[in-house]
């Protein structure tokens, strides 16, 4: 795996495979601005921001963004594509702790110990904004809306995970799969994508790992929902036919 280059390159720098810096990477004109940035910021504040968040990075499908133990330097905002985060036990067993889609933050696990506690791997070719955390911290001390936004992002992650614990701790296989589909649907919708028809970027095995189920069980539940006319499944393409029915499962 490549180390992540974060520091802005001087103007004369040759083109790089990894992090790139150019004028088009800025927040004030980003399509994701509203999902990514706090409201209550003036144009002036945005100008400040553009000076600080300078690099973006492409990650190809299957490529590792960061690994457990990597020194923590930046958090990331997913501009395009999607990722999975994976935790590994000593004995080699691994579990996916999250799928992360466009507009969502990534990497906040690293803040606590200055190093990452999971692996982040692209599920498809993706693009990220790299936000150097030290810079972000300074910014938070100057701009109150930014401070609040960062706190919300972190707290949001805490809530997301406790919802997951609920799922893993007290739902049966059928409920887990339906909750998963509804969750993906709702997050896509929040990002103005279709919430009724979407492509799952992960395999059945990855879904299973995330949901605490075996891939066969995931597959059986999807077939079951299809038989019940709640969804339409064509491999990775899912169409939700009866969201309420799914919710009632």
Contacts with DNA, residue ranges (CB under 7 A): 172-174, 203-205, 212-220, 222-223, 233, 235-236
Smallest gap from residue 41 Cβ to a copy of itself (A)? 16
Nearer to a copy of itself by C-beta: 162 or 199?
162
Least distance from a copy of itself to the Cβ atom of residue 49, Å: 17
CB-based contact 55:73 (threshold 8 Å)? no
| CA–CA dist 247, 249 (Å, integer) | 6
Q: Per residue, what are the HEC states of 94-118?
A: EEEEEEEECCCEECHHHCCCCECCC
Distance between first and last Cα of the chain: 42
- Alpha helix stretches (DSSP H) within 118-172: 133-142, 144-170
Closest to a copy of itself by CB, 72 or 198: 72
Which of 19, 207 has the CB closer to a copy of itself?
Answer: 207
Question: Tokens for 57?
Answer: 């990075």
Stretch that binds a copy of itself, among 42-50, 152-160, 183-191, 222-230 (CB under 8 A): 152-160
Least CB distance from residue 15 to a copy of itself, whole Å?
34
Structure tokens at 82: 């999607």
Helix (H, G, I), strand (E, B) or coil at 46: helix
**Which residue, 74 or 97, has its beta carbon nearer to DNA?**
97
Which range touches a copy of itself (CB under 8 A), out of 16-24, 48-56, 103-111, 227-235? 103-111
């Amino acid at each position: 795996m490549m180390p992540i280059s974060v520091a802005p390159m001087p103007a004369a720098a040759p083109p790089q495979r990894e992090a790139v810096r150019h004028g088009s990477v800025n927040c004030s004109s980003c399509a994701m601005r509203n999902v990514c940035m706090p409201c209550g910021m003036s144009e002036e504040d945005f100008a400040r921001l553009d000076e600080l968040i300078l690099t973006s990075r492409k990650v190809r499908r299957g490529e590792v963004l960061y690994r457990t133990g990597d020194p923590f330097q930046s958090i990331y905002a997913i501009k395009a594509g999607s990722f999975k985060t994976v935790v590994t036990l000593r004995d080699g067993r691994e579990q996916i702790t999250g799928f992360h889609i466009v507009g969502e933050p990534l990497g906040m696990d690293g803040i606590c110990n200055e190093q990452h506690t999971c692996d982040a791997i692209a599920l498809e070719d993706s693009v990220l904004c790299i936000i150097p955390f030290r810079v972000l911290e300074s910014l938070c001390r100057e701009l109150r809306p930014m401070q609040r936004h960062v706190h919300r992002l972190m707290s949001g992650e805490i809530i997301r995970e406790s919802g997951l614990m609920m799922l893993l701790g007290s739902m049966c296989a059928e409920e887990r799969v339906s909750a998963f589909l509804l969750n993906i649907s709702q997050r896509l919708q929040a990002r103005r994508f279709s919430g009724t028809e979407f492509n799952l970027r992960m395999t059945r095995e990855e879904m299973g790992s995330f949901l605490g189920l075996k891939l066969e069980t995931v597959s059986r539940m999807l077939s079951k929902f299809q038989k019940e006319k709640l969804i339409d499944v064509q491999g990775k393409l899912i169409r939700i036919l009866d969201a309420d029915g799914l919710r009632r499962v």
